[in-house]
Amino acid sequence: MKALFKPAPGAGFEFTDRPEPEPGPADVKIRVLRTGICGTDLHIRRWDDWAASNIRAPLVAGHEFAGEVVEVGPLVHDIEVGDLVSGEGHIVCGMCRNCRAGRRQMCIRTLGLGLHRDGAFAEYVVLPGENVWVHHAPVDPEVAAIFDPFGNAVHTALSFSVVGEDVLVTGCGPIGLMSIAVARHVGARFVVATDVSPTRLALAERMGADAAVDVRAEDLHEVQRRLGMREGFDVGFEMSGAPAALPQMIDNMNHGGRIALLGLPSEPFAIDWGKVVTHMLTLKGVYGREMFETWNSMSAMLQTGDVLRERVASIISDRFPAREWRAGFDAAESGGVGKVILDWTEV
């Protein structure tokens, strides 16, 4: 099969022939149709310090995908050959305290598809059956390919109730943009988004934000007054990891405000812990997706929400045949686009 392969530690990939993976008795073999390019994949291609300390090579990368089931192990149930599927890329041990308690997203031994074991930038991928999500309702393969980042957005946006609440979203990359659409779908009152990219701020408005704010030019307190808010934001989604974002969010929260943190900072930064305490704020770290409540929520919302479905699909901005993977990665690296899709039916 053709695959995007990193033969050893170092920058770059090879688009080359690799042996097809063989499924075990509890596994599913999938013919990959589409993959999304994630920021993690860009780190792996560059082989920066993060990649060097976290990734195991040799490796087939890629963890955002949709495909068609071609083989099902004898121990796998409720998955059939021909099913359109996506994959939960966090593979858990099943034996730690959290796994046994049903909190699999908190497994202490999680392995990442395309990070610690061969992934989906290939014509075929193998996953444990319990990690395979079957799309029973019709869904476009491109949208199915971004269920992983869409799940990050849904997990973050549903961390706290946002019904009737005022929501601040800092960071309008693809996941931040999808979180805006989810907050609007589930009934937030005002949704305000911040970024420094005019392109992404325009996309935030298309996702349903009431205000899209360039924080270099406009003060969030003024935005609150313009919207008629009197007491600060009730819920925050910190999606950027930018050092200035969380302190600014804390400064604009109502007393008792709740903040879900998905953005990964590249370096430590100071925040006003006194304000966190005296304003009785709740900060919650978010990583990946809840297994599998987030997946149920994603499928249900897309099945019943026409506007949400259109907004999520519109996040996909560029499409390339898999053989043109370099152009796809360069587009994703530019930072001015939404999600970039590789088509693995064109190798």
Consult the annotation and say whether 99 binds a ligand: yes
Is residue 40 part of the annotated active site? The answer reads yes
Consult the annotation and say whether 262 binds a ligand: yes
Consult the annotation and say whether 309 binds a ligand: no
Closest by CA to 5, choosing from 338, 318, 322, 334, is 322
The two beta strands, 191-195 and 167-170, are: parallel
At a CB cut-off of 8 Å and minimum separation 6, what does 285 contact? 261
Is residue 16 part of the annotated active site? The answer reads no
Strand 14-17: give its sheet, edge to edge. Answer: 14-17, 2-6, 59-60
What does the block give as tokens for 260?
């879900």
Consult the annotation and say whether 172 binds a ligand: no
Consult the annotation and say whether 63 binds a ligand: yes
Consult the annotation and say whether 261 binds a ligand: no
Consult the annotation and say whether 96 binds a ligand: yes
Of the candidates 43, 90, 155, 185, the residue annotated as catalytic is 43
Give the span between the Cα atoms of 167 and 32, in whole angstroms.
37
Consult the annotation and say whether 76 binds a ligand: no
Consult the annotation and say whether 107 binds a ligand: yes
Consult the annotation and say whether 264 binds a ligand: yes
Of the candidates 40, 110, 156, 170, the residue annotated as catalytic is 40
CA-based angle 248:197:253, to the nearest 5?
A: 20
* Known binding positions for NAD(+): 175, 195, 200, 262-264, 286-287
* Known binding positions for Zn(2+): 38, 63-64, 93, 96, 99, 107
* Known binding positions: 38, 63-64, 93, 96, 99, 107, 175, 195, 200, 262-264, 286-287
State the catalytic residues: 40, 43
